[in-house]
Amino acid sequence: MSVAFAGSSITSPSREAGPLRVMIVDDSVVIRGLISRWIGAEHDMEVAASLRTGLEAVNQLERINPDVAVLDIEMPELDGISALPQLLAKKRDLVIIMASTLTRRNAEISFKALSLGAADYIPKPESTRETSAADVFHHDLIQKIRHLGARLRRKPAVASPPLAPTSPAAPAARASAIARPAAPAPAPQTLFPGAMSTRPFSSQAPKVLLIGSSTGGPQALMSLVTELGPVIDRFPVLITQHMPPTFTTILAEHLARSSRRPSAEAIDGEPVKPGRIYLAPGGKHMRVVRNGAEAAIALDDGPAVNFCKPAVDPLFTSAIDIWHGNILSVILTGMGSDGMRGGKDIVAAGGSVIAQDEASSVVWGMPGAAANAGICAAILPLNQIGAKVNRLFAGDRA
C-alpha cells in the first residue's frame, strides 16, 4: 500500500522503546472490549485509549499520543473517514487501521481511506459470536498493529542499490517438485558486502506475469498496472492480493481504471487469455490448470495457506505446470512469507522472481522473505518494477 501512506509518511519513531500505544475508536462497546483484551494480552502493545466516536479521538489525540489507531468507519458525531484526515493533520506519523464490516459501501470507503493516508484496513466479523471469524479478526488485527507499528521502531530504510549483472554458477541444491526436467537455475551471487544475493534472470522468455501482494498491495498494484499496458495486451496477468470478499471486487474495478484494461475477479473454469487482468477473489485460492490446449482458472475453497485465503503460493506453483520456466513473478509489499515457496518452485523450473525493495514497501515481509531466500533476480523500488517488467517481456534478459 514506493508507496508511502498518502498524506502521511511515517518518517521517524515516536519512541525508541516501550510497547506500542494503541487507540481504539469504535462505537460498539463489544468491539472495544474485545480489541482491548487482545491488545492487553500482547507484551509489545498497550491500550492507550478506548473511545466511542471519531470526535473524541480528534479532540483527545494530543493527550493520548498513540502510535496506532484502530478506527471504525461508521460512528456517531464524526465518522471514521471524516476523522481520518483530522487525525493525520495533528499527527502525521500516526498509523491508522480502518475497521469495517464487509459491505460494498464500506469496502469503497476503505479504499478511499487508503488514498487519504490510512495505513491499512481490516474487515470486522458480522458477529463476534462466530468463533472462526473472530479468531481471524483477532490474528489479523494483532499482526497488522505489530508490523505496521514496527515502522515506528526503525529508521527509514535505504533504497536497494542498483544490481550489477551476475554470472551463472552451479545449480541450486534443491530437489524440484517438477517432474519434467528444467534448465538448472544458477546459484545466487552476493554482489557486494551487505547486499542481498541475486541470480541472473531466466534465459527463457516469459509468457505470463504473476503478482503476489498483501499489506500495502492495493496502492502498489494500482501504481504498477498503470505501466504494464504493453504486457497486459500480449500476455496474461494473474494477481493474488490478500483480501476478503467484496474488497477484491472493488480492487478489480480500481485496477481496470488504473490500467485501462479489462480486470475482474477470476471465475472458475474461465480460459486464461492475454489482454486482461485476473484477480483472485477473496476467500478462494486461485490456481491455473490445463483445459485441453488452454490454460484455465481453478478456484478452490480449501484451507488457508500461510494464514491466507487467497494465498500466493498456490497460484505460483500451479502455473509451472502450464508455462514451465516461462514465468515472471513479482512479489510486492506484504506481511508474512507467502509467495516465497512458490517463488522457489518457479526459479527451480527456470523462471524468475522480482521483489519490491524494503524502502518502498509498507511491510517488507513477503518480498523480504523472497529476497533473503536468494531466489530473486532483482530487488527493486516499486517505481522501477514496471519498466523492468516491460523490458523483460520485450526481450531483455538481464
Query: What confidence tens digit (pLDDT) does each residue in 344-367 have?
Result: 999 999 999 999 999 999 999 999
All 3 cell numbers of residue 174?
Answer: 534443491
Q: What is the mean pLDDT of the chain?
A: 86
Q: Which residues pair with 49 in a beta bridge?
A: 23
Quick check: 57 and 11 in contact, CB under 8 A?
Answer: no
* The predicted structure's pLDDT at residue 99: 94
pLDDT for residue 128 is more than 70: no
Active site residues: 214, 242, 338
pLDDT digits (tens, 9 = 90+) for 23-72: 999 999 999 999 999 999 999 999 999 999 999 999 999 999 999 999 99
Taking the domains of the chain in order of start, what are their residue ranges? 20-153, 208-393
Using pLDDT thresholds of 50, 70 and 90, give the confidence band for residue 11.
very low
The 8-class DSSP code of residue 174 comes to -
CATH pick for 20-153 out of 3.40.50.2300, 1.20.120.1730, 3.90.700.10, 3.40.50.720: 3.40.50.2300
Contacts of 240 (CB under 8 A, 6+ apart): 211, 212, 213, 279, 280, 286, 310, 311, 312, 315
Express as a percent the part of the chain with pLDDT over 90: 76
Helix (H) or strand (E) holding 342: helix 340-348
pLDDT, position 178: 28
* CATH number for the domain formed by residue range(s) 208-393: 3.40.50.180
Taking alpha carbons only, the member of 274, 235, 275, 273 closest to residue 256 is: 275
Reference 106, options 75, 137, 143, 129; nearest CA is 75
Instruction: Answer whether residue 343 shows pLDDT above 90.
Output: yes
Residues 235/272, Cβ–Cβ less than 8 Å: no
Cβ neighbours around 7 below 10 Å, total: 14
C-alpha atoms less than 13 angstroms from C-alpha of 378 in its C-beta half-sphere? 24
Matching fold, domains 20-153 and 208-393: yes
pLDDT, tens only, 202-257: 999 999 999 999 999 999 999 999 999 999 999 999 999 999 999 999 999 999 99
Helix (H) / strand (E) element for 50: namely strand 45-51
The pLDDT tens digits for 319-333 are 999 999 999 999 999
The CA distances from residue 292 to 27, 247, 268, 300, in Å, are 54, 33, 15, 20
Pairwise pLDDT comparison (28 vs 129), residue with the higher score: 28
User: How many residues does this entry show for the chain?
Assistant: 398
CB atoms within 10 A of CB 226: 14
> Please, how many CA atoms are within 13 Å of residue 219, restricted to the half-sphere of its CB?
28
Give the predicted TM-score (pTM) of the model: 0.84
